[in-house]
Amino acid sequence: MTASTSTLYHPKIAHFMETYGIVLIVLVMMAILAVIKPNVFLSAENLTNILKQNASLALLALGMLVVIVTGGIDLSVGSTMALAMVCIAMASRVGVPWPICLIGPVVGLAVGWANGIGLTWLKLPHPFIMTLGTLNIGRGLTYLLTGGAPVSGLQPELRYLGVSYWGLGIFNPPAGLPVSLVVVAISAVLLWLFLNRTSTGRHIYAIGGNPHAARVSGVNVDRVLTAVYMICGFFAGLAGLLLVGRTGSGFPNAGIGIELDAIAAVIIGGASFFGGRGTVLGVLAGVLIMGLLRNGLNINNVSAFWQMILIGFVIIIAVYIDVVRRKAAIRT
């Protein structure tokens, strides 16, 4: 091995790239877009729109991270988010006091509990089956409750998280900080602390690494998995709370297909489909990569159809990198 090659594979450099490489990709993408469309991309309005438009996706991806770390998947987050939106909007329209209308996360917890109990009690072979079922159940409930029509008449207080800004110094909105971004930041910090500073968080990674070994070592795998899906459901309900505030109504068809974007963001962010691997920082970077990619294509007037094709290739490449990385780890 040459000197340059040994430097390239120096453990410290490898660890740095493993931890922060995804962040470097985000910075490179931002630099490229700033060069191509400086006046459009670097405008305060565009940058804040990127953050606001991807806030709900970021929350869904944070919840999805916890599930994927265990080697599972949750296909129901999109319909759970829509169901939370509809429940919030319907409660608000009939005059329920606005604090009680903050029931989105509670709805998400209930769906997550159903996923966890169904998976552990029924002993289904894979969470794909259980969450595919609740995906359809949740979406069907949104249509039954609303008749397929959006539910409007939201109380002003319920829109705060979705549309409000915190002013930064002399700046006024939209140059201020979106409140939805603050919600994402607080959620990310709390989730990081949970995964890295609690015994349950360590058990989650242990289950993803080897569920049989975790069970033998005394981990209550069924209880942890139920908690994992409840956490994912909670984040989906919180995402619904942000989105209903941003749109001003409950849409029964909101979030169709967004579960795939959440999964893609987690995988692009460096988590492994095989479980046992994934970070909060990587997930946030994965969400930003998808947001920047879409924004860059939009400001360059690229067709939405081409955007779908390109994002599909990005997902395939990300999963391929995960497979190669796993094979390399097995060989070593």
One digit per residue, pLDDT tens: the chain, 332 residues? 444 444 445 566 666 666 667 888 888 989 999 999 888 888 888 888 898 999 999 999 999 999 999 999 999 999 999 999 999 999 998 888 888 888 999 999 999 999 999 999 988 888 999 999 999 999 999 999 999 999 988 888 888 888 888 765 444 444 568 899 999 999 999 999 999 999 999 999 999 999 999 999 999 999 999 999 999 999 999 999 999 999 999 999 999 999 999 999 999 898 988 889 999 999 999 999 999 999 999 988 888 888 888 888 887 887 777 777 667 666 65
DSSP state of 54: T
Residue whose pair of structure tokens reads 């409000």 in the numeric block: 164
Structure tokens at 124: 């289904």
* Amino acid 6: pLDDT: 46
Q: How many residues does the chain have?
A: 332
- What b-and-e string marks burial along 192-225, b requiring 16 or more CB atoms within 10 Å of the CB? beebeeeeebebbbbbbbebeebeeeebebeebb
Residue whose pair of structure tokens reads 């005394």 in the numeric block: 218
DSSP states along 86-109: HHHHHHHHTT--TTTT--HHHHHH
* Amino acid 326: pLDDT: 66
Residues 6+ apart with CB under 8 A from 109: 230, 233, 234, 237
DSSP states along 280-321: HHHHHHHHHHHHHHHHHHHHTT--HHHHHHHHHHHHHHHHHH
Taking every pair of C-alpha atoms in the chain, what is the biggest distance, in angstroms?
Answer: 73
* Amino acid 4: pLDDT: 47
- Return d(Cα 26, Cα 141) in angstroms, integer: 38
Q: 3-class SS at 121? A: helix
Q: 3-class SS at 250? A: strand
CB atoms within 10 A of CB 245: 24
* All structural domains of the chain: 39-331 (1.10.3470)
How large is the angle between the packed helices 104-121 and 127-146, nearest 10 degrees?
140
CB atoms within 10 A of CB 248: 16
Burial of 310 from C-beta contacts in 10 A (0-12 / 13-18 / 19+)? middle
Q: 3-class SS at 111? A: helix
Burial of 66 from C-beta contacts in 10 A (0-12 / 13-18 / 19+)? buried
DSSP states along 154-211: --GGGGHHHH-EE--TT--TTSSEEHHHHHHHHHHHHHHHHHHHSHHHHHHHHHHH-H
Taking the CA atoms of 169, 171, 175 and 179 in sequence, report the sign of the dihedral they define.
Answer: positive
- Return d(Cα 269, Cα 198) in angstroms, integer: 22
